[in-house]
Amino acid sequence: MTAQTETTGPVTTVYKVSGMSCGHCEGAVSGEISEISGVSSVTAVAKTGEVTVVSATPLDDEAVRAAVDEAGYELAGKA
């Protein structure tokens, strides 16, 4: 019997962030979240309040919350 390992690709998670209203807001949130280890891309959209994060593995919600807080906004949860 051979053991099989599951290969998984990048993980995409969408978060809701309150308080974003412009491009500067999007940049601030994206910049902080992209500093989290394993994050490969971040797309923040102020109009919808959604932040799409692509990472190598699922992120710790508290790490994301801390990054959003550092940017001056509030993480409302996952979309």
| pLDDT confidence of residue 61 | 95
pLDDT over 70, % of the chain: 91
Kindly report the average pLDDT of the chain as a whole number: 93
Angle (CA) 42 48 53, round 5°: 20
- What tens digit of pLDDT does each residue of 13-32 get? 999 999 999 999 999 999 99
- What tens digit of pLDDT does each residue of 57-74 get? 999 999 999 999 999 999
Task: Report the run of H or E that residue 18 belongs to, with start and end.
Answer: strand 11-18
Give the whole-angstrom CA distance, residue 54 versus residue 67.
15
